[in-house]
Amino acid sequence: MSTLADTLRARLTTIADPARAPGMQAYMKSAMPYLGVAAVPMRQSCKALFKDLRWPDSAAWQADVLAIWRGAQFREERYAAVELSGVRAASAFQRMDALNMYEDMIVTGAWWDYVDAIAGQRLWAILENDRPAMRKAMLAWSRDRDMWKRRSSILCQLHAKAKTDLDLLYACIEPSLDSKEFFLRKAIGWALRQYAWTDPDEVRRYVAANENRLSGLSKREALKNIGKAAA
């Protein structure tokens, strides 16, 4: 019998445009090759394949996600694993026992296209469901040696809006304030810019208070939409 991973690869291969693959790989600076499937048809194919899936428990769901992730030969398969991790049928599984799976994907994926989707959506879901434990985990990640875990901690409230825990956001930013790493500087600015839609005055205050430590990139990103938010 074909596994879910086998069926997925066959479907993606059917809708792939191999001529697009080299350009997609070059744009993403990816060592893993692409099939040549654009984002919209990839998501549509995943939606159709995953819509009737159900799991008896979190372990069974995680096994399917990781089988696709770890067995991937093409980058679109890993995108599909990220899609599978967020299907509605798995909403009850977005709890602390899923964090090890996401950590595996973040550390082994080690690039912004995977990391940002997982951090901004999946980690936020866990934070909403298991706040005390997840808060502690994100504070630990913010000081981790792995840059992508640090970035994830900064971005885990990207879509929180008025639910943003500012103490947590600032605490996750703090260890990376003096970093010269582009992806951390960008994450800091992005997280602040998103919160500026909710409270522009607070973001102005924070940027002013940390004027000498925030990078130019972080400040520009943080203040980019302030005028629009205040309008």
pLDDT attached to residue 81: 98
Q: What percent of the chain has pLDDT over 70?
A: 97
- Residue ranges and CATH numbers for the domains of the chain are 1-93 (1.25.10.90), 115-231 (1.25.10.90)
At 191-205, the pLDDT tens digits run 999 999 999 999 999
Q: What pLDDT does 61 receive?
A: 98
pLDDT at 62: 97
In sequence order, what are the residues at sequence separation of 6 or more whose Cβ sits closer than 8 angstroms to the Cβ of residue 148? 106, 107, 109, 110, 111, 115, 183
> What local confidence, expressed as pLDDT, does residue 113 receive?
96
Per residue in 41-65, pLDDT (tens digit) is: 999 999 999 999 999 999 999 999 9
Can you tell me the distance from the alpha carbon of 221 to that of 48, in angstroms, rounded to the nearest whole number? Answer: 37
Residue 231: pLDDT over 50: no
**pLDDT given at position 29:** 96
Distance CA 106, CA 150 (A): 10
- The confidence score (pLDDT) of residue 225 equals 87
pLDDT at 227 over 90: no
Mean pLDDT of 29-35: 97
Judge whether residue 230 has pLDDT over 80: no
Render 6-55 in DSSP notation, one character per residue: HHHHHHHHHH--GGGHHHHHHHHT-SS------HHHHHHHHHHHHTT---
Can you say whether the dihedral through the CA atoms of 98, 160, 82, 70 is positive or negative?
A: negative
pLDDT digits (tens, 9 = 90+) for 161-219: 999 999 999 999 999 999 999 999 999 999 999 999 999 999 999 999 999 999 999 99
Instruction: Kindly report the pTM of this predicted structure.
Output: 0.94
